[in-house]
Amino acid sequence: MTSPIPLRLALVAAGGAIGTAARLGLGLALPAPAGGGLGAVPWATLVANLLGAFLIGVLAARLPGSSAVRILLGTGVLGGFTTYSAFAVGTVTLWHAQPWLAAAYAAGSVVLGIGAAVLGLALARPRSAHAQAHG
């Protein structure tokens, strides 16, 4: 059963506020890059996006797409926590200083993000009775 539209909007707004605050906290814990080499990688953005992809995979495996909890946590909290725009800006900024590292960061972020989502889905999917009996 789906929630009424005003309720869904309120859930996304409340979750988004929590998610963006959590991302800010992560950014404060892992400060903006300085220097060269791997120190120039925007680690907070990478961690937020990989952790968010994993957790969205878990939610997708466990909760129906229209449930209020999935709307709050998936679209709201994790949508606010993960950030494509910071990923894009971080990649361009890194590109100016170290193009090869920027390319590796961008490709790695996409591949690892997909891998994290797949892992979240795989770990959280309920096992069938047959698989549990033989696995």
Q: What is the pLDDT of residues 36-67, one digit of tens each?
A: 788 889 999 999 999 999 999 999 999 988 89
Q: State which residues form the domain around 11.
A: 5-134
How high is the pLDDT of residue 66?
Answer: 83
How high is the pLDDT of residue 108?
Answer: 97
DSSP for 71-116, written as a single string: IIIIIIIIHHHS-HHHHHHHHHHHHHH-HHHHHHHHHHHHHHHHHH
Tokens of 58: 């878990």
Cα Rg, the chain, nearest whole Å:
17
How high is the pLDDT of residue 135?
Answer: 52
Q: Which residues of the chain have pLDDT under 50?
A: none
Beta carbons of 83 and 45 less than 8 angstroms apart: yes
How many domains does the chain divide into? 1
How high is the pLDDT of residue 132?
Answer: 55
**Binding site residue list:** 79, 82
Quote the percentage of the chain above a pLDDT of 70: 93
How high is the pLDDT of residue 71?
Answer: 95
Query: Which string of b and e fits 107-126 if b means at least 16 CB within 10 Å?
Result: eebeebbeebbebbbeebee
**Amino acid at residue number 71:** I
**Binding site residue list for Na(+):** 79, 82
